[in-house]
Amino acid sequence: MLEQRSLIALKQQTGGISLLKPRQLRSKLAGSYQSKARGRGMEYAETRHYQPGDDIRSIDWRVTARTGKAHTKLFHEERERPVFLLVDLGASMRFGSQWRFKSVQAAHLAAQLAWCACDNGDRIGGLIWNQYQHQELKPKSRSAAVLHLIHTMVSLHEQTPQHGAEPQDFNHALSRLRYIVRPGSQVILISDFQQLNDEGIRHLNLLGRHNDLIAGEIYDPLEIQLPETEFGNDLMITDGNQRAILPLSQRNQRQQCQQRLEQARQSRLDQLQKSGCRLFHIGAHEEINKQWRRQHHGR
């Protein structure tokens, strides 16, 4: 079960995990971060009377029509970096063999990263997908943005699909992400990426041209290493509604299953890296901060 209060409490644990670089403002017009991203977004500042030499493309035609006098829009470069979180709460994420469902761990990770971005003064946006629908969150500042993200994750996680509802493709979520993300953003994808295919990779390739892409793979230990069953029996798994059998009773069957799992996962990770994503991995079996310290600090 995903609890809103637990995600809010993670505000006190932002010191254990950080993907966001400290601010390095170099000049009046400098952006917040050094990045390979091209085309940092420009932000509307104000409208004033047109002056000779103003770019005609910046004329505010609406105000001009209303007042009868030419007006120009002024813009300044964004001084904070928008952070977008795509959180996968789809069917393949509703699995956990030990401690948590992958979907619950994904929500905890997203909340920690959002609180971290909030501490850095960045605007936080997102897209939450649960296989039947998604919700888009426009970038906003301060704690209210994180609380909105948390509320949306809990709502979509606990939502029961309506009878006859058609599943929504993961590619649709990625295409919408491309639409709402502005150049110069940091985009953090939190998923097991089991729904990722060639079309999805195409969307990521396009996103990566002007943004910093980070992919957090959420996995369950059972997906990495199949267990040796005590009596050599097959293993039944369930999501609470459907059941499936893993044929582990015969050594050759177990080896074939293990090989297929490894090949499929490695293919996904290779595709993500080729699309320009920086990768990290979080298991659903253990506290996030402990895993982060081992991966990034050798502890």
Q: Name all domains of the chain by residue range, CATH numbers in brackets.
A: 42-77 (no CATH), 81-297 (3.40.50)
Beta strand segments in the chain, E = 42-49, 71-77, 83-88, 124-129, 134-140, 186-191, 212-219, 235-238, 243-246, 278-283
Q: What is the pLDDT of residue 76?
A: 60
Query: pLDDT tier at 161 (50, 70, 90 boundaries)?
Result: confident
Report helix, strand or coil for 207. Answer: helix
**Beta-carbon-side half-sphere exposure of residue 257 (alpha carbons within 13 Å):** 19
pLDDT digits (tens, 9 = 90+) for 68-82: 999 998 876 555 679
The residue ranking higher by pLDDT, 87 or 297, is: 87
Computed over every residue of the chain, the mean pLDDT equals 84
Quick one: what percent of the chain has pLDDT higher than 90?
Answer: 54
- What number is the average pLDDT over the span 190-219? 94
Residue 160 has, within 13 A of its CA and on its CB side, a CA count of 3
Determine whether 68 is exposed, middle or buried from the number of CB atoms within 10 Å of its CB (0-12, 13-18, 19+). exposed
> Is-contact 131 163, C-beta < 8 A?
no
Q: What is the pLDDT of residue 78?
A: 57
Q: Which residues pair with 190 in a beta bridge?
A: 87, 216
Q: Is the pLDDT of residue 34 over 60?
A: no
In whole angstroms, give the CA distance from residue 122 to residue 119: 8
* Residues in CB range of 251: below 8 A, 6 or more apart: none
| Strand-strand pairing, 124-129 and 83-88 | parallel
Handedness of CA 177, 180, 184, 186 (dihedral sign): negative
* Predicted local distance difference test score (pLDDT) of residue 230: 57
Separation of alpha carbons 46 and 117, rounded Å: 27
So what's the pLDDT on residue 284?
Answer: 95
Global pTM value: 0.77
- Containing 180, the helix (H) or strand (E) segment is helix 170-180
